[in-house]
Structure 1
Amino acid sequence: MEWALVMHADQRREVDQAPFVLHPLEVASLLNGRDFSDEVVTAGVLHDVVENTSVTVDDVERRFGVRVAALVAAVSENPAIEDYVARKAALRAQVAAAGTGACAVYAADKVAKVRELRAKVARDPSALQGPKLEHYRASLTMLRAETTGLALVDQLEFELWALDVLPPSQLDNDGFTDR
């Protein structure tokens, strides 16, 4: 956690400008709460360091071992793929091929991301437009096909259902509803 805090120190979440590290910590907490191994939880803490910092997979391997590095690599996008839809499809295929641990980290990441999207939609309903939500739905489909009995997949399905059926209230400028 200390290394993630240092690596993400200057980064902020788009949705609320909170320290970015809260996202990987939420992912790790979701994994820990489902009793995944320390290696999977560690990969959850580190899942964004390769994509969002100067850290490489080799750096992760040197500090945390082959298994953690393989999980982080499996959930890291290929930056050489410029097209968003193609890059996300390649990521889903990569995660599917990497096994249950990678699927768990990926599912926990998507649960946290859909929650963030829900908060963003409360401020800006147009946030539901575009390919991001479709990527989350395609991720759920992939995870359903690749895993059995993974509760985080059920949780992702619930979060997407809640976004559809129970849309967040529009917040005023102070962050409160008009009620």
Structure 2
Amino acid sequence: MIEKARRIATEAHAGQKRKNSNEDYIVHPIRVAERLAAAGFGKEVVCAGYLHDVVEDTSVTQEDLEKEFGREVTALVAMHTEDKSKSWKERKQHTIDVVRSGSLEVKALIVADKLDNLQSIHNQLQAGEPVWDAFNAGYEHQKWYYTSVRDVMSENLDPELVPRYFDEYDRLVKKTFD
């Protein structure tokens, strides 16, 4: 199941590049899935890590995912998928709200994704590259978004169940924006 998710994500994202980079897009979902696996999440969450952007950014539909992976994987991906018909602020507020109220698995998926994105941003900043102009929203909006996710990511979770990479996310938000 996990190999199938990786294969489908690789095929779906073929030819796509990361923002501000020549890096193949698929490296991002691979890192997200690997982080989830390393934190001990089950196959459904790891599959969602590989597939988290396919509905949003490719021709793959939720129906395709449900047929291939079942309801649980599809629900995780759906919770993470942004509605591109909405404004940037509305989409990001929705993600913050999902993180606030989501299950451990939903929070883990979204924070793993946001951590990988933030690591890319931080690496570009460290290299002295102009970063903020490439985004739909600049520094202040990005700061609001990433800090808001940080502020709600551990809400309603048993502290003993919080993945260690949540601490890494917190540290990187502070390094990047404070």
TM-score (structure 1 length as normaliser):
0.84
Q: Using the aligned pairs only, state the percent identity.
A: 27
Alignment correspondent of 1:145: 155
What is the RMSD of the two structures over their aligned residues, measured on CA atoms?
Answer: 1.8
User: 2-side partners of 1:96 and 1:59: how far apart?
Assistant: 28
Q: Which runs of 4+ in 1 moved over 4 A?
A: 125-128
- 1:1-28, CA deviations, whole angstroms, 9 ceiling, x for partnerless residues? 1111100001001132110000000101
Q: Does 1:22 pair with 2:43?
A: no
CA drift at 1:129: 1.9
Aligned residues: 164
- 1:96-135, CA deviations, whole angstroms, 9 ceiling, x for partnerless residues? 4341111100010011011011123231165672412321
**Contact 2:118 2:172 survives alignment (8 Å):** yes
Alignment correspondent of 1:175: none
User: 2-side partners of 1:14 and 1:116: how far apart?
Assistant: 9
Q: Could you tell me which of 96, 110, 130 is aligned with 1:124?
A: 130
User: Structure 2 vs 1, CA of residues 109 and 125 (structure 1 numbering), >3 Å: closer, same or farther?
Assistant: closer
Whose Rg is larger? 1
Gaps of 5+ in 2: 1-5
Alignment of 1:1-179 (within 5 A): 1-81=6-86, 83-121=87-125, 122-124=128-130, 126=132, 129-149=139-159, 150=162, 151-164=164-177
Gaps of 5+ in 1: 166-179
User: 1-side partners of 2:173 and 2:121: how far apart?
Assistant: 10
TM-score (structure 2 length as normaliser):
0.84
SS in structure 2 at match of 1:145: coil
**Contact 2:99 2:152 survives alignment (8 Å):** no
**Contact 1:24 1:45 survives alignment (8 Å):** yes
Matched to 1:63, the amino acid is: E
SS in structure 1 at match of 2:148: helix
